[in-house]
Amino acid sequence: MPGFELIGEEEKKEILDVLSRGVLFRYEFDSQRKGIYKVREFENRFAQFCGSKYSLAVSSGTAALKCALSALGVGPGDEVITQGFTFVATWEAIFDTGAVPVFGEIDDTFCLDPDDLEAKITPRTRAIIPVHMCGGQARIDRIIYIANKHKIPVIEDTAQACGASLKGKYLGTFGAMGTFSFDSVKTITTGEGGMIVTDDHELYIRASEYHDHGHDHNPELPRGLEKRNFMGFNYRMMELQGALGLAQLEKLQSIILPRQRQNKARLKEALQKIDGITFRHLPDPEGDSATFLMFFLPTQEKAKAFNIVLQEEGAGAINWYENYWHYYAQWEHLLEGKTVFRSGYPFRDERGNIRCSFKPDALPKTADILSRSLSIPINIFMDDQIPSFIKAFEKASKVL
């Protein structure tokens, strides 16, 4: 997920342009900024790129999730369904609204399993957050169909799949809202940052007000005299990040996606020759953003043995089953109900009664998929490493 590999002259130029006027804030300073609004311009170009009507830049991908949930009015007493293979941010944002996360299984796309999603819908389900993990697509058509049937809005967590599409439509634009991250390891990066996209004007306005302390953004009034429709918070993006976003977005389609796809294809071609290896299901291989090559081994033991050889050859893969940040059964703070609050909230209420609890073995299908799969992160500049990966695959094939 390599936007950071391309920080260069274009990004420097954009940053210096902001510094030359000294306006770092996305709002106000109208005369000093000489008509230049970098965050606003980044929002406009991002919306244009995705084909969405509105976009709102925020301070992180986590903030994007929180603002999207808040715009939908999700809060205490509500449940939000997401998946047990995602970054912790997805369910942190759910808890932060006062709602409770419900975890669904993943399927061979490594994203939310539509059948399990449907089984987990209750009268309390107020939103569904499928996560397009590791650059590829969830079965988003089926997820949206199920969500519509139950009249529940979908927020697509597209933090890891910026630029990926399904049959020509960009991920993030299928649900009521889509969220993106531009943190240090994402496909395009602004250091920290995020984006929300939506076609719904009301949701856009609510997210926009919420992310800026509730400012109603009345164009007739100076900022200090604006009113509030509800309370909000500060999740604003600043001009320097907007400037970086503009430079990075330019590179997404021209450099990042083609290079990633090319590198991934070379590695996949080599792996395809090995009996016993199968690949992640991609609902639309052409729209894959190609940030990871994910493949299955016949058993967990074989996956481990295969990876030991890759590691010995300096070409180790990620086994998400053992990853502390992305897999449900490894989230000990969630499973043990660890929290900073004296009351034990959000796991307990203020009287000490249990609000929610999570069992480590609740997602057997996810465990099976993650335990026998390996993932290789794809970079832009990995030409020199590809031959050693291919050699390592050949060596590792002997353990199968």
CA 143 to chain centre: 17
Which position among 2, 3, 61, 287 is part of the footprint of ligand PLP (CB under 6 A)? 61
Q: Does 172 bind ligand PLP (CB under 6 A)?
A: no
Query: 385: closest CA among 267, 269, 271?
Result: 267
Q: Does 109 bind ligand PLP (CB under 6 A)?
A: no
276 dihedral zone (left: phi>0; alpha: psi -120 to 50; beta): left
Nearest CB to ligand PLP, comparing residues 127 and 392: 127
Q: Residue 324 Cβ, how far from ligand PLP at the closest point, in Å?
A: 13
Residue entry with tokens 């590179």: 251
With contacts defined by CB under 6 A, name the span among 38-46, 153-161, 360-368, 388-396 that binds ligand PLP.
153-161
Which position among 157, 209, 212, 226 is part of the footprint of ligand PLP (CB under 6 A)? 157
Q: Does 189 bind ligand PLP (CB under 6 A)?
A: no
Nearest CB to ligand PLP, comparing residues 171 and 271: 171
Restricting to residues 349-388, which ones interact with ligand PLP according to CB under 6 A?
none
Q: Does 137 bind ligand PLP (CB under 6 A)?
A: no
Number of Cα atoms under 13 Å in the Cβ half of residue 158: 32
CA distance 224 to 85: 43
Q: Residue 376 Cβ, how far from ligand PLP at the closest point, in Å?
A: 17
CA distance 158 to 132: 5
Nearest CB to ligand PLP, comparing residues 65 and 315: 65
Q: Does 82 bind ligand PLP (CB under 6 A)?
A: no
Q: Does 107 bind ligand PLP (CB under 6 A)?
A: no
Nearest CB to ligand PLP, comparing residues 132 and 215: 132
With contacts defined by CB under 6 A, name the span among 58-66, 307-315, 341-349, 360-368 that binds ligand PLP.
58-66
CA distance 367 to 364: 5
Nearest CB to ligand PLP, comparing residues 86 and 208: 86
Q: Does 241 bind ligand PLP (CB under 6 A)?
A: no
Residue partners of 314: CB distance under 8 A and separation at least 6: 388, 392
Q: How many CB atoms lie within 10 A of CB 297?
A: 24
Which position among 55, 70, 97, 160 is part of the footprint of ligand PLP (CB under 6 A)? 160
Q: Does 159 bind ligand PLP (CB under 6 A)?
A: yes
Single-letter residue type at 143: I
Residue partners of 399: CB distance under 8 A and separation at least 6: 302, 305, 306, 309
Q: Does 89 bind ligand PLP (CB under 6 A)?
A: yes
Q: Does 194 bind ligand PLP (CB under 6 A)?
A: yes
DSSP-derived letter for residue 105 is P
CA 216 to chain centre: 28
* Pairing label, strands 177-181, 194-198: antiparallel
Alpha-helical (H) ranges within 252-321 are 257-272, 300-312
Q: Does 87 bind ligand PLP (CB under 6 A)?
A: yes
Nearest CB to ligand PLP, comparing residues 26 and 186: 186
Side by side, which strands form the sheet with 125-128?
Answer: 100-104, 79-83, 125-128
Residue nearest to ligand PLP (CB): 61
Which position among 116, 183, 226, 288 is part of the footprint of ligand PLP (CB under 6 A)? 183
With contacts defined by CB under 6 A, name the span among 60-68, 118-126, 135-143, 300-308 that binds ligand PLP.
60-68
* Surface-to-core class of residue 344, CB atoms within 10 Å of its CB (0-12 exposed, 13-18 middle, 19+ buried): middle
Q: How many CB atoms lie within 10 A of CB 308?
A: 13
Q: What are phi and psi of 378, to 5 degrees?
A: -100, 130
- Exactly one of 13, 34, 38, 186 is catalytic; name it: 186
Q: How many CB atoms lie within 10 A of CB 158?
A: 30
CA distance 240 to 219: 23
Mark whether 268 is an active-site residue: no
Which position among 112, 131, 238, 380 is part of the footprint of ligand PLP (CB under 6 A)? 131
Q: Residue 60 Cβ, how far from ligand PLP at the closest point, in Å?
A: 3
Q: Does 62 bind ligand PLP (CB under 6 A)?
A: yes
* Pairing label, strands 100-104, 155-157: unpaired
Single-letter residue type at 243: A
Q: Residue 211 Cβ, how far from ligand PLP at the closest point, in Å?
A: 14
- Which residues are marked as active site? 186
Residues in touch with ligand PLP (CB under 6 A): 60-62, 86-87, 89-90, 131, 157, 159-160, 181, 183, 194
